[in-house]
Amino acid sequence: RFSSRRSSCTGARARRRATMGFSFLPVMEYLSRRAFHAAGLCPHTVTLPRDPGEGSGATTIHYWAPPGEPRLPPLLLIHGFGPMATWQWRLQVGPFSRRFHVVVPDLLCFGGSSPCPSSPPPSESAQAAALAALLAALPGLPATARVAVVGTSYGGFVAYSLARAAGPARVGPVVISNSDLLMTAEDDRAFLERAGGEWASAADLLMPLDARTARRLMELSFYRKQVTSMLPDFLIREGVQNLFSDKREEKIELMKAITVGTDGFQLTPLEQDVLLVWGDHDQIFPLDKAFAVKRCLGENVRLEIFKETGHVPQMEDPDRFNEVVLDFLLASQKSPNQHDQ
């Protein structure tokens, strides 16, 4: 009996060691890359022009796009504060690429892109300026081409900044998903209270380094239970430490540099057609903020509320998200009040 029990325990330890050798990150990356490649997108890197005041070192943007010159209207997909642009947009690139030349960049400080230069400060306006430089550097994209833009969460801040700075002659219809452009310090405090009051700052929660915090972030981000949230603690801990340790200090500075909610930011209407998308169970940016943002963005704004959906409707309800966004973008292209290409 002793010998049999020892053998059983040894076998259990061996199975655990084998399981510990498995990481879900390569699986996530494989699924994401497969979706991007299937959509005809390839990885690229572009070096941006450097301002003399930026100091030494080149600033590069890593992005996914079809090879060659655009044969379809350009569409820019801007990710949020999650660690992987490919994971956030993997369910969109296939349907969208049938009608658009899809470009998916890693924002500065994320993925394969450079950290933000020290000057200008790494605000969402600086991110927008980097994306404008990326568009100017895209092979075969005319300087007069109008680019449709979709941004989610923090990416919505950047999308708004880009649309306002570039104007309707360069940036066409804009989709902003679950992005509180009226966020205040009080909203940050309310978010931490909804999370349970255990975290001192939003950065501690949005960039988790332990399994408990990661599970709580998933609960706040998704309305529907995620398979990854049911993984063992050691797998989640390994995953988040790999994902959120990359450029961690730079990302914390990025959060501090957000101008939304400060005296340096004013939400003004956009001239472009705007689709505002919001999950009705969003616990990061609650639904009531959607109506306030809509009132401030002007007359050309349509609000689409996704039921039984949290902070990332493009991941929780991708079929509806893709249909609603594509219908909006294609209708805006045909609208007679749009600027000519």
pLDDT per position as a tens digit, 192-219:
999 999 999 999 999 999 999 999 999 9
Residue 254 has pLDDT above 70, yes or no: yes
Element (H, E) at 13: helix 2-20
Report whether 304 contacts 326 (CB < 8 A): no
pTM tops 0.85, yes or no: yes
Between 288 and 238, name the one with better pLDDT.
Answer: 288
Phi-psi map region of 275: left, alpha, beta (phi>0 left; psi -120 to 50 alpha): beta
Pairwise CA distance, residues 275 & 159, whole Å: 12
pLDDT band at 308 (very low <50, low <70, confident <90, very high): very high
Closest by CA position to 75, among listed 324, 340, 325:
325
Secondary-structure class of domain 30-49+57-184+263-333 per CATH:
alpha beta
